[in-house]
Structure 1
């Protein structure tokens, strides 16, 4: 790259460029921040002004922990490459301090666009939009149908219940990172513990952990080219994904800061999405309101981490509104309480 080009924070252009030249024989590249994801940092690597590769690394100031373990995330995507789940093509998982001080994943650039705005949704022909919505559910079902051991991911299993572990984990992470007093986080946690579904109602599989429209890359016709952001993936109750997915469509955007299409935009009703999931998986989705509430509470904890990194200057060049992010934390927690008493699915 030339001296005039600006390198985003978190990259050493000389070291990374030398590695790319050695591995792929390309000496002239440029870098830009990819506007997908608010935790692990993601960059495009352009060649001749066109995106060729994507590089993904932990946040600036990362001190460890599986939530930002990009090597683990890269391994999951690589393992799913041979399944029916659409994922980016992982080229290398690099853990070499001579190239970068933290591990990173290097993958082919996946063409297409996520759904972050009404304008992006409008890129999909109106007559294809219902099929696109159901295609998202088909993709979720494909994730949940993966044979964990055949994919080589059996060692990701952990003892005990996924929801129970995550309630404990995210509360601990929230309390470790927050610099504010937000009592409703503990209040929702305690209700979720009290109302946890019975073991007989749990269906175990790969749970993506952050399955929503802006974590998918769409082709112009509305088909899904790839699911991205696998950093929160775990083996456990797959209804956590379903609850999270439908919660995005049941929660006001002011709480999530995530735009999703609604029925006025040609999107099916929540009940239709759940029914389609049941048809594709052959299971009956139970306790969907609980899982939706759990998803919103977890999102509140995650957003507090993002907010803290923002105000501490650890999010690189990503231009997000810290005040809006901070305000959404309590709103999400209170929406979770509302969701617990809702009737998403009979």
Structure 2
């Protein structure tokens, strides 16, 4: 890692007693860069925005750090917050540091297939239960009452991801504007207000090494906000579509047919959260729109030579199928029964 000497000085000021640091890039993510940092005794995780980030609001380190710190004693499993800075002179970008959580990460189907059918089901249902637990947290009770304006969250999301498309688009794509217009025309009143993770899927959690049904930590909070909790569920279900596969190199764990169906996951969320999911089709369509723009952003950074690591070359293939899926689930003139 470049800037290791400056990072050493930062750690010595913020983490008393730390020893000589070593850092290595953790592969697998498609957005922020994530490093494992250790002094041989303790281990931390450092996250910073991607090189040449084209969607600045989606890579807010201070925002991510604030919500993780706030949730420490909430019952939602998170890594312990350690330090954060917006001082770009340290490593060339803002960054946040949390404690390393030992456990199991499941990013691809090969890793998922190491689990039995019973373990897969427990894992999938356990994720939904953690999501419901997050949405049950009172923002004011954990110091997040001023984390953002919850009212109008859905309309802002539609506008924001349309704006992000304008920033990252590398080619004209039929359907993107149509999906945006349909979402804007059918945007419902929010179903409620909660702390929203913003990027909830199986590879953004650390599972217990011995029990895949236990979540040790929910990670990657860069898009957290106060907003409509069903937006998290809708995106989680959009990530289960095989159209998302190319974003994670062609074998995303979230798209495995071994996982419970989208309908089954939605029903379980409704049961454990007590929330009405009747209008979920809109939220799934919004999830497809968001996932498509994220995929195009990854593609744009890859073609611009601004990615670090491997597996980015297929992300652009996901964009058109994700947009098409969003249009199918939110057709003109009414709802679809597809999800």
TM-score in terms of structure 2 length: 0.89
Matches within 5 A, 1:302-317: 302-315=294-307, 317=308
Distance 1:136 1:53, change over 3 A: same
Aligned to 2:325: 335
Alpha-carbon contact 1:44-1:51 (below 8 Å) kept: no
Count of matched residue pairs: 330
**Cα root mean square deviation, aligned:** 2.3
- Which blocks of at least 5 consecutive residues in structure 2 are unaligned? none
Distance 1:130 1:159 in 2: 33
Aligned to 1:177: 168
- Which secondary structure does the structure 2 equivalent of 1:106 belong to? strand
TM-score in terms of structure 1 length: 0.87
User: 1:59: how far off?
Assistant: 1.6
User: 1:123: how far off?
Assistant: 4.1
Greater alpha carbon shift after TM alignment, 283-292 vs 67-76: 283-292
Distance 1:67 1:261, change over 3 A: closer
Alpha-carbon contact 1:263-1:269 (below 8 Å) kept: no
Distance 2:150 2:36 in 1: 37
Greater alpha carbon shift after TM alignment, 25-34 vs 104-113: 25-34
Distance 2:330 2:18 in 1: 53
Matches within 5 A, 1:1-346: 7=1, 11-22=2-13, 23-48=15-40, 52-62=43-53, 65-158=56-149, 160-197=151-188, 199=189, 202-220=191-209, 221-222=211-212, 223-254=214-245, 256-257=247-248, 259-260=252-253, 265=258, 267-315=259-307, 317-322=308-313, 324-341=314-331, 342-343=336-337
Alpha-carbon contact 1:274-1:285 (below 8 Å) kept: yes
Deviations 1:288-339 (A, max 9, x none): 1221111011111122122111222222x222333x1112112211111122
Distance 1:156 1:90 in 2: 17
Deviations 1:151-206 (A, max 9, x none): 11111232642121011111112112323212321111011112222x2x622211
Greater alpha carbon shift after TM alignment, 292-301 vs 178-187: 178-187
Distance 1:328 1:150, change over 3 A: same
Greater alpha carbon shift after TM alignment, 73-82 vs 331-340: 331-340
Distance 2:324 2:135 in 1: 29
Alpha-carbon contact 1:239-1:285 (below 8 Å) kept: yes
User: 1:249: how far off?
Assistant: 2.2
Alpha-carbon contact 1:71-1:93 (below 8 Å) kept: yes
User: 1:72: how far off?
Assistant: 0.9
- Which secondary structure does the structure 1 equivalent of 2:216 belong to? strand
- Which secondary structure does the structure 2 equivalent of 1:191 belong to? helix
Greater alpha carbon shift after TM alignment, 68-77 vs 269-278: 269-278
- Which blocks of at least 5 consecutive residues in structure 1 are unaligned? 1-6
